[in-house]
Amino acid sequence: MMDARIRLLLEVFDQAFAGHSWHGTTLSGSLRGVTVTQALWRPQRGRHNIWEVALHAAYWKFVVRRRLVRDPALKFPRPGSNWLELPERADLRAWRGDVALLKREHALLRRTIARFDAARLGRHGWRSQWSNVTHIYGIASHDLYHAGQIQLLKRLGAR
């Protein structure tokens, strides 16, 4: 039987990414139907676009997973960190591939959370000042923050 704290964390995690939510659009929902043109549009030089935000979200899901499992051998499938470079050929195939990467990283982290030892929730994450529970709750908050950012970018780009 799953610990009630883990079950609640999974519920929050799922609601922020793709679940049914009262708060509005989820991260996955904010990307639904986004075209390559929309994904590449940026409000101003030096500002992030939707594609970069999606990769950033995927990267941080990976980081949280690596911190929870405490495995330095885990590597993100793309070079770079935090704000990753877009592929040289930023076309529909690459866009779909990066959205799939985000979904894959979400699924891997979800599996990690579901199997996580609840006794370790209050302990510090690997190479982090934050507790494991803060990482899990925080990544859900991170998804919601960027879902709102993407929704705003879509509206601004449609003007």
Segment-wise mean pLDDT, segments of 10 residues, the chain, 159 residues = 95 92 91 97 96 98 97 95 95 98 98 98 94 97 97 89
What is the per-residue pLDDT for 23? 83
Q: Which helix (H) or strand (E) holds 36?
A: helix 36-40
Give me the pLDDT at residue 118, please: 97
Which 8-state DSSP code applies to residue 72? T
Cα separation, 59 vs 82, whole angstroms: 6
The sign of the dihedral angle between the CA atoms of 103, 28, 109, 84 is: positive
Q: What pLDDT does residue 76 have?
A: 97
The pLDDT assigned to 156 comes to 94
Bridge partners (DSSP) listed for residue 131: 124
Q: What is the pLDDT of residue 159?
A: 67
Using only C-alpha atoms, what is the Rg of the chain?
A: 16
Burial of 113-147, coded b for 16+ CB within 10 Å and e otherwise, reads beebeeeebeeebeeeeebbbbbbbebbebbbebb
Whole-number pLDDT of residue 158: 74
pLDDT of residue 19: 78
Domains of the chain, earliest start first: 4-157 (1.20.120.450)
